[in-house]
Amino acid sequence: MNIVDVSFEGSFEKLHQCPHHYLPEFAFVGRSNVGKSSLINMITNKKGIARTSGTPGKTQHLNFYLINKSWYLVDLPGYGYARVSKKIKSQFPRMIENYLIQRPNLYCCFLLIDSRHPLQKKDEEMLSWFGDHHVPFVIIYTKIDKMKPTSKMDNIELIRKGLLESWETLPQQFITSSTTREGKEELLMYLATLIESFNFPD
């Protein structure tokens, strides 16, 4: 799939404010500073379409991007960053949960995990929540370029083993780097497959 048209449709605090349409939506979520904005910029070929920052927690709303006029990429607020105010931090779970449970157009959620670190408790909790609420998801490992070439897969295998302690099988997984663009084509091909399988209303 080639992405040739990207339109920022808006940033919304409440679920009822989000666009009303019949197109499939794919949500991207992860811990703050996991590299979500950089990944979105990479796969859309639009540098700066999603705000990147050295300060985590910048995404504080539900950000909607219309892609190729045929599907939506939804950038969800990051979780787990302590410096965000308590009031805003308490709103994040409610905002994310309302979207993931109640949004009828949501077709799949892409959970980003930083490949450089051991399995984090917040990521485990998010995955368990997906399972409890039957939210379809895949896993994207980010920042693989930050790992030493000889050992970059070792930590990912440790994460997978940790996940398999709670899951019988794991969903589709992608290894990516926003710097080297590794994994971009595989991710876009998978998205294209999902879009083809989406049941559009007559």
pLDDT digits (tens, 9 = 90+) for 2-43: 899 999 999 998 888 999 999 999 999 998 889 999 999 999
Q: Are 32 and 56 in contact (CB under 8 A)?
A: yes
Using the predicted structure, report yes or no on whether residue 180 has a pLDDT greater than 90: yes
The residue length of the chain stands at: 202
**Whole-number Å distance between alpha carbons of 82 and 75:** 20
pLDDT reported for residue 47: 76
Pick the closest to residue 64 from 56, 52, 72 (CA basis): 72
Using the predicted structure, report yes or no on whether residue 181 has a pLDDT greater than 90: yes
- Which pTM was predicted? 0.88
**Whole-number Å distance between alpha carbons of 84 and 69:** 34
Pick the closest to residue 74 from 43, 109, 101 (CA basis): 109
Q: What is the mean pLDDT of residues 177-182?
A: 94
SS3 40: helix
The kind and range of the H/E element at 23 are: none
Q: Are 178 and 39 in contact (CB under 8 A)?
A: yes
Quick: pLDDT tens for 52-77.
444 444 456 899 999 999 999 999 98
All domains of the chain in start order, with CATH: 7-197 (3.40.50.300)
pLDDT reported for residue 84: 43
Over the chain, what is the mean pLDDT?
Answer: 86
**Whole-number Å distance between alpha carbons of 66 and 13:** 18
